Amino acid sequence: MDLAELYRDVIVDHNRSPRNRGRLPAATHHAEGDNPLCGDRLRLDVEVAGDVIRDLRFEGSGCAISTASASLMSEAVKGRTRAETAELFGAVHRMLTGETAGSTQLGKLAALAGVRSFPARVKCASLCWHTLNAALAGSALPVTTE
């Protein structure tokens, strides 16, 4: 059990100073993620233009893993199409569950690879992605990964 693998510098940095935090007045889509057992709560505002995610912001409270994951995700999907985002989510999911070691397309998201050794924390890292999916699908129901 290697804590340094979980709390890599990139994770700690994105938890301390989350990117794209806040609300987005121009949002076209939004969704909420809620893991009540952990106390992780997330609100995601997304601005979609045509088929492309132009911008997104998140707010809420959560652990370092869920906050850093949301922050990293917000950087990674900006400017991507829906299809590219779905593909990226697939790659992140495979990495988190240990199905693959990760791939070059993950970029900074690869910092989350250590989560796979902590099965109880996979739900923290994946909450933002499921919430993004719900937002893009126009779902009004809050998402949970518990």
Interface residues with other proteins (CB under 8 A) are: 1, 3, 6-7, 12, 15-16, 36-41, 61-65, 67, 118, 120-121, 124
Q: How far is the CB of 32 from other proteins (least distance, A)?
A: 14
- Token pair recorded at residue 141: 């129901």
User: Going by C-beta distance under 8 Å and a sequence separation of 6 or more, which residues neighbour residue 126?
Assistant: 69, 92, 93, 96, 145
Minimum distance, C-beta of residue 4 to other proteins, in the bound complex (Å): 8
Q: Please identify, using beta-carbon distances, which residue of 105 and 117 lies nearer to other proteins.
A: 117
Q: For other proteins, which is the closer residue by CB, 66 or 74?
A: 66
**Paired tokens of 136:** 């893009």
The least CB distance from residue 65 to other proteins, in Å, is 7
Euclidean distance between CA atoms 75 and 73, whole angstroms: 5
Of 36 and 98, CB closest to other proteins: 36
Q: Which residue, 38 or 136, has its beta carbon nearer to other proteins?
A: 38
Q: What is the DSSP code (8-state) at residue 22?
A: S
DSSP code at position 128: H
Give me the torsion for CA of 111, 145, 143, 108, rounded to 10°: 10
CB of 1 to other proteins, least distance (A): 5
